[in-house]
Structure 1
Amino acid sequence: MSTVALQAKALLIRAVECDQSGRILEAQTLYQDGISQLMDFVSDEPDEGKRKGFLVRIKEYMDRANAIKARINGRLALGEVVFHLSIEDNDTNCDYDQLFGKYMTDQTVEILIEEPHLTKNFQYQNLIRFLELAVTNCKDLKYLLLVTKKDVEDFDKQRTNMGQIKADLERRQITLYIKYEDTLHDRKIYLSNGYIIKIGRGLDIYKASNPMYSIGLTNYKYRKCKQTDVDIWRTSHTAGK
């Protein structure tokens, strides 16, 4: 069996393992990548019989992937609001931990982050602040799926920055998968323990420290905020329900 086929097989085996252990975000990604690689291999297979056999297997994995997609869509369906806060312009005491830290628990093993705009330094800093909270509160976190838009002005810089974040998380045994969707508009964070965080501005809720060297430079509970709304939803799949 070729190297490509072996790599596809390894991805699909891991996908099944993640599926069975409840890590459905990671399973979906692995199914997609494994099926794609297997399709590339099959397209070059000269033996008609072998090709038909592979296509049967691919169909089975595609059915699994579609079932995973349906489960994810079901879990992303909003349930009931358990927390609402209207943040007014220049409000303080709105650090991420204060807003939603208590919902990020040990039962969170996967996180989906939909954040359209990650191109400016302060936007990366906001992402890092959130990831620091995730690493601190979610002791068993294994997988992060980040969906964002490409930086049309400097995609190379964006890939470099994302690569640094990805490598740092890997050193902590956390996998980061980055997906670029140019039509992405909505902002939300899905926690696998069943909570969904929706912020009108996404992670971009803070004003610049002014003057720069003032209280709030590093401790964001003192940082002035932009006007926005924060809603925490609890889905029917909330862990422990």
Structure 2
Amino acid sequence: MSQNHVSGMEASAVSVLKRAVELDQSSRFQEALVCYQEGIQLLMDVLKAVKEDSKKLHYREKIKGYMDRAEQIKVHVNQLKEDGKYHEQIRIAEDATGYSYESLFKPYISSSLTEVWVEDPYIRHIHQLYNFLRFCEMLLKAPCKVKRIHLLTSQDEVDSGQQSSGQQSSALAELKQSLQAQGVSLELQYSSTIHDREIRFDNGWIIKIGRGLDYFKKHKGRFSIGYCDYDLRQCQETTVDIFHTKHTKTL
């Protein structure tokens, strides 16, 4: 393996671990844990590639330090979960980027996740329906085996009138059919009084986003950066609160 490749891996590890420390210091422990684990794996790859004993010793000591901290966080998080006291808050600033659904939800998705509940009154207009589609695609790509997604939303004004072929109902019917082909069932429910926005995973995580799934700014054009990749799309200011419960209620 070339020296340049090793240097590149080391730079990646340093970047991820720096982020882990920042998250750790901000008490965003679950996110920090994911970054520590990724960074440790990158350092282990570097360790395998270096030849000098002095460098091997240096990386082993670094890895041990980060592994010890990751274990401390894991114990702390598990205790907070057990006591029902886990609460983490993320503030997404106006015009911030880097908050695609993959990035935001990744720390809370585990292999045990099989069922998801989404309460969001604004899955009605075309861009909101696309947001929900992206959220479902994110779940299908994630390292879990989601079998059922529940959506509770408000009904579009067109759909609640005499017309039965409204944009919302046809879009969700198409998505339901498409998910079914992937082995995932979509359960739809409508409410005229819903105002809370909440996403619940059956592994115990509850994520409350002030703006629901609709926290991205309108794209500046179909050929502008951020149109396809939501990590590059600017966000509207909002707050994300994350909790953990041992019992996930159903809708």
Question: Which TM-score applies when normalising by structure 1?
Answer: 0.63
Determine whether 1:168 maps to 2:173: no
Matching residue of 2:221: 211
Determine whether 1:113 maps to 2:118: yes
Aligned partner of 2:116: which letter?
Answer: I
Q: Deviations over 1:19-76 (max 9, x none)?
A: xxxxxxxxxxxxxxxxxxxxxxxxxxxxxxxxxxxxxxxxxxxxxxxxxxxxxxxxxx
Q: Does structure 2 conserve the Cα–Cα contact (< 8 Å) formed by 1:109 and 1:138?
A: no
Aligned identity (percent) is 34
Cα distance, 1:179–1:138 mapped onto 2, change above 3 Å: farther
- Of 167, 172, 195, the match for 2:205: 195
SS at match of 2:157: coil
SS at match of 1:212: coil
Determine whether 1:148 maps to 2:158: no
Matching residue of 1:122: 127
Matching residue of 1:179: 189
Matching residue of 1:80: 85
Q: Does structure 1 conserve the Cα–Cα contact (< 8 Å) formed by 2:209 and 2:238?
A: yes
The whole-number CA distance in structure 2 between the counterparts of 1:147 and 1:81 is: 25
Q: Does structure 2 conserve the Cα–Cα contact (< 8 Å) formed by 1:113 and 1:146?
A: yes
RMSD: 1.8
Matching residue of 2:239: 229
Aligned partner of 1:150: which letter?
Answer: Q
SS at match of 2:179: helix
SS at match of 2:215: coil
1:90 to partner: Cα distance: 0.7
1:80 to partner: Cα distance: 3.2
The count of aligned residue pairs is 161
5+ unaligned residues in a row in structure 1: which ranges?
Answer: 1-77
Q: Deviations over 1:115-170 (max 9, x none)?
A: 11122111011101111111111532111111011111245322111110100110
The whole-number CA distance in structure 2 between the counterparts of 1:106 and 1:113 is: 19
Determine whether 1:93 maps to 2:103: no
5+ unaligned residues in a row in structure 2: which ranges?
Answer: 1-82
The whole-number CA distance in structure 2 between the counterparts of 1:83 and 1:135 is: 25
Q: Does structure 2 conserve the Cα–Cα contact (< 8 Å) formed by 1:200 and 1:229?
A: yes
Q: Does structure 2 conserve the Cα–Cα contact (< 8 Å) formed by 1:81 and 1:231?
A: no
